[in-house]
Chains A and B, each alone.
Chain A
Amino acid sequence: MSLLDVTGLTKAFGGLMAVNDVSFGVEEGGIDAVIGPNGAGKTTLFNLISGALRPTSGAVRFAGHDITGLAPHAVAARGVIRTFQLVRLFGDMTVAENVRVGFHLSTRGGIWSALVRPRWARAEEAEVAEKARVLLTLIGLADRAAVPAAQLTYGQQRLLEIARAVAAGPRLLLLDEPAAGLDMAETDALAEIIRTINRRGVTILLIEHDMRLVMGIARRIVVLDFGRKIAEGTPETVSRDPAVLEAYLGTAESCEGAEVLHA
């Protein structure tokens, strides 16, 4: 059984089928990717899995439980944590505080413990601060810990969002275009960070336009076009699939198309 099972997932916005009868599975422990041209329904698919949108029909099962239609925070509590296509940080908070917020699910302090500060709450705060520091070191932002998050460069903000998501203790991490807006060096660093997170036992599903990144790290790829799944398989098979080449470039014969996907 897969960690994540999506079956017949459909989302209609009026007459538009943003996601149309999509089924696939994500095995535990790997790095998988969802690709497709703009408007193919990739982000809608993430919104359906993470609970931000309710599907019109179909089901999402995670670790054997039906999580279809659960509220986003409840999906997160099950261990499915996402990032956003347009970075969503808490801009007024410091870099360190952004990561600390991420530990919400694994900590338990409430109003009373905040006011009274019993020993366990102080220990919990100290532990959160230390774990946040470790995560910031992983993404290379330890020296920016006290800076308001809004002051980071775009690339740094993307990494910070990933660190915050990792803090939330995901079993499955959904990354929505993590390389968007990053230059080549930053993308390479990102790939290394994604691999490191994966090695720590976090299954990863990412949406990505950067083919160099996808072909480099993804084990399996699902290809969407106009809301439908048109191909699925290893990077090699997908990049030679005529339907995929056509979706991206209009014709299966174009050798340029093959180059784009192989780049």
Chain B
Amino acid sequence: MFLLACAVIAVIVASGGYFVTVVCFAAIYALFVSGLNLFMGYTGQVSFGQNAFAALGGYSTAVLTTRLNLDPLAALLLGALLSGAIAFVVGFPTLRLRGHYLAMATLALGLIAYEVAVQWTGLTQGYMGISGIPGLGFAGVEIDDERLQAVVLLAIAGLGMGAALRLRHSRFGRALAAVAGDEEAARAVGINITHYKLAAFVLAAVYASVAGSLMAQYVGFVSPEVFGLAMVVLGFTMLYIGGIGNVGGPLVGALIVEALPQTVSGLKDYQDLVYGAALILILIYAPKGLAAINPGLPLAVQKNAS
């Protein structure tokens, strides 16, 4: 993990231009997918609605910074708090559902968020979106250099994945894994599975919210489309390509999926086809994701460690 981060940073500093943009988006998505991984990979639940929380974070940042002139960092934290609170309230009834029903309910959550962003024009300016959001930075300091932006975003993603790793190897993480492994057996050793599903859902929402805020700051613009269903599809693709349940998976998946359109852009119309074929091949030949292919890789150690 550390080596990969160093390698990426070295390449960023050495290069520039479009590659740096790819890395920036990959870092933001790595954070988003890490949250998804906590809920889906560690806890074994399904959510198609994480874009709702990214939208909450993105719009919180947009509204609070452009209208109230709030510091971007404060806006990010407030957005995360709001997302966590809403995840708690929404999760309480929703997480009683299982499997397909949970998937449908969370999908609805994402669609509702989209509709709210479109309809509540007084706050969100509808399809127009909100522009002029201050860039990455805090306390009045804005990071202008795009290479520095990439390093900061990677550092934040690293922090998020480090936190996920610590969570995984703890009493809390074992309880999540127990819920994923066998709910009845988890209950039988005294684990309150509703409590842990809810905790994972709230954590995933906070990750998504922070990713959404960073996205708003980095792009300088939010609209309903930015946090649409496409974000969910992209997140899922990254999660499965990188390796679900694997701490480093989200970064690997995000880097590959963000870089892929560049690599295959000559194909234009066939891009989706190549995407799909690549995804199917990975799911067949590396069902645990690319980060888990070589057990000798430091990235792959996580799940089977200790």
Contact = CB atoms under 8 A, between A and B. Distances in A.
Nearest to A149: B181
A167 B172 CA distance: 17
Interface stretch (B24-32, B139-147, B182-190): B182-190
Given A91-B181, A100-B174, A110-B172, A115 B188 contact: no
B178 A90 contact: yes
B187 A71 contact: yes
A40 to B, nearest CB: 22
Interface string B170-197: 1111110110111011111111110000
Nearest to B181: A90
Nearest to A78: B190
A81 interface: yes
A114 B187 contact: no
Interface residues of A, number: 46
B172 A72 contact: no
A104 B191 contact: yes
A104 B170 CA distance: 11
Contacts of A136: none
A39 B190 CA distance: 28
B136 to A, nearest CB: 24
A244 interface: no
B178 A101 contact: yes
A240 interface: no
A94 B186 CA distance: 15
Given A88-B184, A94-B306, A148-B304, A101 B189 contact: yes
Contacts of B303: 92
Interface of B: 163, 166-167, 169-175, 177-178, 180-182, 184-193, 199, 203, 245, 303-304, 306
10 contacts: A71-B192, A76-B189, A77-B190, A88-B184, A93-B181, A101-B174, A105-B190, A115-B167, A165-B189, A168-B188
